[in-house]
Structure 1
């Protein structure tokens, strides 16, 4: 079964063949294979060809076995301190903001926890120990929350107000 191939069809209609073992990293692929079998093409409607090829590059590097998860909490803004495999560090750093967002959406759709964890660690490292003002400037956020919006957010996410959270994560 390990030598068996599956065909994935990207949102552009491109057919890409990969190892059946890709199911070890993607719960979506595993579920589809259980329902339909390995001989049917699997539509990956929300993933572009370029992004799928990068995801498969990651999968092949890890021989279709989930890598060690990033350290939590993220120890510093240096992502290499959170991720064990330096190949993964180089891989995730190769994505600009737009491509990283596309990668996150794609691996979330594919239900690939190992790569999603690495993506989220990368984002967390970018935000670590940065003030609200720094983040607003970098991401071009101009608007302040109105009092009503701020109260609604606090009601919806009360954990933000917990003392342990503020002491460990709020550096502003």
Structure 2
């Protein structure tokens, strides 16, 4: 079955394929180069086109956008806030029972760290001296970035960045006294 002629043909095909790939590589590297192809001198590279970029007048960074949260609360949708509540219900309840976090019945305009029998973190009880009431402004700042607002809180939630979603959630919580 395998004789000398068959073995010679197989070796020739294999060597021919390698030779073809080497020649194709050589031709491709001659046609397509990466970089400017010259030496490593200080010559400036001439570009085919350039894109004008306007100079920024702001040298200190972007200013924070001021949000009129009262206007957002006026147009808040409690039904949309119920969808946002899905992010909270893993740790909080609305039936008066405490879970990992305190229950949130009547949280709007409630005193901070005031649920009897719940073991608040030291950071949250200290925060109660700074912001004693969960009003709209305090709630929306805390919901946006819990660990940024109350450093050292036990709440591991990352927060809700969208101000409209926060307003909707607070409107939903307000409907659950």
TM-score normalised by L of structure 2: 0.22
Q: Which has the higher strand share?
A: 1
Relative CO higher for 1 or 2, CA cutoff 8 Å, sep ≥ 6?
2
Larger radius of gyration: 2
TM-score normalised by L of structure 1: 0.22
Q: Which has the higher helix share?
A: 1
